[in-house]
Amino acid sequence: MNQKLKNKIEATDTSINKLLKDQKFAIDYFQREYRWQEKHIKLLVEDLTTTFLKSYNKGDKRSSVANYLSYYLGPVVFSINHENGKKSIIDGQQRITSLTLFLVYLNHLQKNNVQKVNISELIFSEKYGEKSFNMTDEVREECLQALFDSGSYDVKESDDETVNNMVERYEDIVQTFPEEINEIALPFFIDWLIENVVIVEITAYSDENAYTIFETMNDRGLNLTPTEMLKGYVLSKIKDKDQRSEINNLWKSEIQKLHEYGETVDQSFFQSWFRGKYAVSIRPGKAGSQNQDFELISSRFHNWFKDCHETLFKLTTSDDLYYFFKNQFPFYVKCYLESLKSQKNYNAQIPHLNYIHHWGIAESLQDPLLLASINYGDDDITVKRKLDFVARYIETYTVRRSVNYRKFGQTAIKYTMFNVIKLIRNNDLKALGINLSNEVDKIEENWHGVLRFRLHGQNRRFVKHLLSRVSSYIDNLSGKDIPYVAYQQPSGKQFEIEHIWANKFAEHRDEFEQEGDFQECRNSLGALILLPRGTNQSFSSDKYENKLKHYIKENTYVQTLHPDCYVKNPNFVNSEKIKNLGFKSYPEFKEEHVRERQELAKRICEELWSIDFYKETRNYE
């Protein structure tokens, strides 16, 4: 290879179609793991779909997509080996993996469409009759193949971090993709995604140059963040030198606290604070509409504050700004950090925050909602109750949507949630309980959906959440203090979803003519329980009658299948709430019994997520 070519660096803007079509990318050893988290993939899907919907009008011609808004996804860096021509990803592996998962999902989504867009060649290429994926990493192959073929993959204990994350992020895509992009709009969206999303492709012909580019992009020339620009503006408006110095030092201290939870948490805090307490408008959902408070705070909250602090914040003088940031800024940082901490680590005082960490809505909506009702000066107990009240509403909303197979990505629910933000803003605890009770009553989806609900390839995480909540609830009604996290996120042996029936259609031919009907019943919520990993694997293929003797050793919800649960068990049999739920044992387990357990699950959900919570937990003087 001559020196001139070796030193060559090319950069060009390209589309997803050109970047991925019939390509093969090797992944360097130092960056094999796929580490995107839920918030990253949800933000990507929401950004892409929201940008598309700004331009899309029902009735457009497909050719009009060429004039829709573009979206810049960022740069990717490749190195080309001059000996074998192999193309290695130096920077951008996380985005390309995420795009591949997104394309796999879209390919499934369009399979029954009359109008299809050929995107399979962006996911894999074919040579001599053999297909191989564009990401040439054998660790991913089995998982990608399963997701491409069926839309689901059962994670094995031997699977690594990358495979686990790929499966979870695929489920996030399924949950986040908006219902507005329906069968009619879908080919328009796919056209837009592969042609209007802009990527800068940087290619180096030596590893040395490729890594130099990578380091330059990641280590040098850091721009001021929106937080730093907000700080600069605020300090410039405070005239008194001592006051300015005081706020500067306070700012450093508070931002340092936020950075302990992540390097961009400061920006998330300001977005949540300003949206929760001050935003009064949101962009209408029709094409061509202009961004309003909600969107402007997301993209450039420092500019939005500059334009709005006199009108929305009533901060007109130097002293106004000084006292506002001296007092309210650290107060809301403390509330925000309490929320973050309790979302990640179960706190029995405010448990619903941990529940919504596992099954909540987009952070861009959830965090403003949590802050909206909190008033400057609320004591610690009131702050915690308000956080728990709002988290309870969020979880009720997401569970009721989920058991009715409804999505709750940001695009689908942002108008509803923004109206709730404005409704509960600055509420006292009593008003908050009343308003949230009324909002729960307005949720369109009811608990009848439980009767039709079952496990499928993309809702395993939700079913785990639901069964963890139900199992913990029944334990507690029976006098056992076993929290949700003991099932959802235990420190020791993990819990897994167990089918009460083994996957043996032949053993159930007396009740089912078609295997599809058997599988649907087997996957029904009434035929599912949680068991520790290993326990379920050791006898999952046994007949029910043989499993039953093991069930009496497990959690209370599982024990209720066994007749012995109702003998010499006073805490269970004497509980009024247990009596009202109508448990019964099952020496055998037939189709009608699955339906009975499904109805039991519905009664449990109605009780578990009852609005009586807001009355029972209020304690007013």
Query: Does residue 128 carry a pLDDT above 70?
Result: no
569 class by beta-carbon count within 10 Å (0-12 exposed, 13-18 middle, 19+ buried): middle
Residue 281 has φ and ψ, to the nearest 5°, of -145, 155
pLDDT band at 382 (very low <50, low <70, confident <90, very high): very high
Beta carbons within 10 angstroms of residue 125's beta carbon:
17
- Cα angle vertex 321, ends 279, 381, to 5°? 65
Query: What pLDDT score does 211 carry?
Result: 64
Please give the structure tokens belonging to residue 245.
Answer: 């110095």
| Cβ–Cβ < 8 Å for 188, 67 | no
- What pLDDT score does 555 carry? 96
Q: Nearest CA to 146 among 172, 127, 166?
A: 166
Crossing angle of helices 410-424 and 380-403, in 10° steps, is 150
**Stretch 259-279: mean pLDDT, rounded?**
96
**Taking a C-beta distance cutoff of 8 angstroms, is the pair 179, 408 a contact?**
no
pLDDT at res. 324: 98
Reduced to 3 states (helix: H, G, I; strand: E, B; else coil), residue 280 is coil
Helix ranges (H only) for 238-379 are 241-259, 265-277, 293-308, 318-323, 329-344, 352-358, 363-372
CA distance 370 to 387: 6
Instruction: Check: CB of residue 247 under 8 Å from CB of residue 326.
Output: yes
290 falls in which pLDDT band (50, 70, 90)? confident
Mean pLDDT of 520-530: 97
What's the CA gap between 215 and 205, in Å, rounded? 16
pLDDT of residue 542: 86
Examine the pLDDT at 620 and tell me if it is beyond 70.
Answer: no
* DSSP track, 22-89: T--EEE-GGG------HHHHHHHHHHHHHHHHHH--TT--GGGGGGSPPEEEEEEEEEE-TTT--EEE
Helix (H, G, I), strand (E, B) or coil at 203: strand
Tokens of 194: 């592969």
| 372, 332 Cβ separation under 8 angstroms | no
Give residue 251's pLDDT.
97
Question: Which pLDDT score is estimated for 221?
Answer: 47
Q: What pLDDT score does 22 carry? A: 78
What pLDDT, on a 0 to 100 scale, did the predictor assign at position 498? 94
Q: Provide the pLDDT confidence category of residue 31 given band limits of 50, 70 and 90.
A: low
Sign of dihedral through CA atoms 144, 145, 149, 152? negative
> DSSP character for 288?
T
Q: What does the angle CA 38 – CA 41 – CA 43 come to, to the nearest 5 degrees?
A: 100
Residue 160's pLDDT is what? 84
Q: Which residues pair with 201 in a beta bridge?
A: 12, 76
Residue 233 phi/psi, 5-degree rounding, is -65, -45
Structure tokens at 608: 């578990």
* pLDDT confidence of residue 2: 55
Cβ 365 vs Cβ 417: under 8 Å: yes
Name the residue among 73, 68, 74, 79 with its Cα closest to residue 6: 79
Pairing label, strands 197-204, 9-15: antiparallel
- What are 84's two structure tokens? 């074998």
Q: Note the pLDDT of residue 621.
A: 35
Residue 392 has pLDDT above 70, yes or no: yes
pLDDT at 3: 54
Amino acid at 124: F
Judged against a pLDDT cut of 80, whether residue 544 lies above it is answered with yes
Residue 142 has pLDDT above 50, yes or no: yes
Please enumerate, as own/partner, the contacts of 550-554 that have beta carbons within 8 Å and a separation of 24 or more.
554/529
Identify any residues that bridge with 76 across adjacent strands, giving them in sequence order. 201
Q: Which of 568, 595, 566 is nearest to 583 (CA)?
A: 566
CB 77 within 8 A of CB 92: yes
Instruction: Using alpha carbons, list the distances in angstroms from residue 496 to 9, 143, 601.
Output: 50, 19, 18
> Looking at residue 351, what is its pLDDT?
97
- Asked whether residue 295 carries a pLDDT value surpassing 60, the answer given is yes
The 3-state DSSP class for residue 90 equals strand
Residue with tokens 């695009």: 411
Residue 484 · residue 352 · CB < 8 Å: no
Q: Give the C-alpha separation, 447 to 375, whole Å.
A: 34
CA 427 – CA 52 distance, rounded (Å): 36
Confidence label for 202 from pLDDT (cuts 50, 70 and 90): confident
Q: How far apart are alpha carbons 478 and 573 in whole angstroms? A: 8
Give the residue, 152 or 455, on which the prediction is more confident: 455
Strand 130-133 relative to strand 135-136, pairing: unpaired
Per the structure block, which two tokens stand in for 116? 């299809």
**pLDDT (0 to 100) of residue 618:** 55
Q: Give me the residue label for tokens 């897994």.
A: 496
Say what the pLDDT of residue 539 is. 73
Report the alpha-carbon distance of residue 294 to residue 204 in Å, rounded: 41
410 versus 108: the higher-pLDDT residue is: 108
Query: Is the predicted pLDDT of residue 76 greater than 90, yes or no?
Result: no
User: Over 80: is that where the pLDDT of 32 sits?
Assistant: no
Higher pLDDT, 442 or 113: 442
Which of 76-85, 155-164, 195-204, 572-581 is predicted with the least confidence, judged by mean pLDDT? 76-85
Taking the C-alpha atoms of residue 159 and residue 162, their distance in angstroms, rounded to an integer, is 8
What is the pLDDT at residue 216? 64
User: Over 60: is that where the pLDDT of 178 sits?
Assistant: yes
More confident residue, 30 or 342: 342
Q: Is the pLDDT of residue 422 over 50?
A: yes
How sure is the predictor about 292, in pLDDT bands with cuts at 50, 70 and 90?
very high
Q: How many helices (H) and strands (E) does the chain have?
A: 30, 10
Render pLDDT for 320-369 as a digit per residue (tens, 0 to 9).
Answer: 999 999 999 999 999 999 999 999 999 999 999 999 999 999 999 999 99
Angstrom distance (rounded) from CA 442 to CA 409: 19
Residue-wise pLDDT for 1-23, tens only, equals 455 556 677 889 999 999 988 77
Model confidence at 437: pLDDT above 80: yes
